[in-house]
Amino acid sequence: MKALVWHGTADVRYDTVPDPEIEQPRDAIVKVTSCAICGSDLHLYDHFMPGMEKGDILGHEFMGEVVDVGAEAKSALKVGDRVVVPFTIWCGECDQCRRGNYSVCERSNRNKAMADKLFGHTTAGLFGYTHLTGGYAGGQAEYVRVPFADRTHVKIPDGLTDEQVLFLGDIFPTGWQAAAQCDIQPTDTVAIWGCGPVGQMTIRSAILLGAKQVIAIDRVPERLSMAKAGGAITINFEEESVVERLNELTGGKGPEKCIDAVGMEAHATATLDSMYDRAKQALALESDRAHVLREMMYVCRPAGTLSIPGVYGGLIDKVPFGMSMNKGLTWRMGQTHVNRWTDDLLRRIQEGQIDPSFVITHSVGLADGPGMYQTFRDKRDGCIKVVLKP
């Protein structure tokens, strides 16, 4: 079969690889009909995430048709079912899965010892996202093996297009969780850093959850335009001071809820702290650029909440933790517990409350994927979200 394969920094190729096969009784094989490039994939493309190996198949946002089912998954799936596959692989039986904490499933990471050593405890297995999270082949391919498939799926009813439901596998529940874990109240101002695909879903989620005002921060005009169309007040951080504008919009008190939809590759290149981060990165003394975290801690109203769906990979420096402690800020973060949210979000799509396809700007064949990685990374051609068709 054909797949997008990682060969090194900024080197993704459209390769021929072996077809996947059933390996465990709870597996299924899915023929991919649509997949997407996620902002998190760019952390792999730029090689900021540890644990990638040449030959790894990329992609953790995909859907398709079930074409083979292991013996122990047949009670939940059959050949011909149309499914979205969550990027977090979950067993449904461990202590964390029973609590609904699917992204920290205790059994799905087959490289558990590696994760235990780095993080203290393992997290769930993820598709196409480094050997630190299991080294599973991803979904930017013609076919995918889905482990624990009797649980790791979202069954799609008839009448919905791929484009309407594809993002249930990642960016829609990720944006929703980022907003939901803020416990948004009708009097809240919610500030969101980053208007990429996850940021766009977060903006619409915060509005659906009833925020008084939503403020979106970015520097890319087309992203800011999409955020504004979704109901947000926008701030271009290259044209005005984020701190001054947020104070103006909140009567000097700051937003109650601040959401980091950027993660480790913040691009605020003109700030002193960003220059510090880049210098330390060059010396391998720091792995992530924490500008957004620092700015959120500074502007957030005392007793407010910081929510972090943006991915961080390792070490950050000069985080003003005393500021956070003395202001009484609450931190919420983590990979998305996808299936905790998908029943509700699928219902909202069916009812017409939201159509997540609004975010798609490019739809191309899988063979064009390597070029689209570069276009997406460099934010060229108005690119906000890429869908690939194997």
Please report which confidence band the pLDDT of residue 268 belongs to, taking 50, 70 and 90 as the band edges: low
Region 60-67 average pLDDT: 98
> Which pLDDT does position 274 carry in this prediction?
82
Please report which confidence band the pLDDT of residue 95 belongs to, taking 50, 70 and 90 as the band edges: very high
Residue 261 dihedral angles phi and psi, to the nearest 5°: -100, 30
Which residues are bridge partners to 53 per DSSP?
Answer: none
Reference 287, options 56, 50, 114, 6; nearest CA is 50
| R_g of the chain, CA atoms, integer Å | 20
H/E segment holding residue 117: helix 112-119
pLDDT at 54 over 90: yes
Domains in the chain, ordered, with CATH?
Answer: 2-169+336-388 (3.90.180.10), 172-333 (3.40.50.720)
Residue 84 dihedral angles phi and psi, to the nearest 5°: -95, 140
> Which pLDDT does position 321 carry in this prediction?
94
Question: pTM of the full predicted structure?
Answer: 0.95
DSSP string, 281-339: HHTTS--SB-HHHHHHHHHSPTT-EEEE-S---S------HHHHHHHT-EEEE-S--HH
Reference 335, options 104, 49, 96, 46; nearest CA is 104
Amino acid symbol at 99 = R
- Per-residue pLDDT of 275-314, as tens digits, reads 888 888 888 778 788 899 999 999 999 999 999 999 998 8
Torsion angle of C-alpha atoms 324, 327, 332, 334, degrees rounded to 10 = -10
- Per-residue pLDDT of 144-172, as tens digits, reads 999 999 999 999 999 999 999 999 999 99
pLDDT at 68 over 80: yes
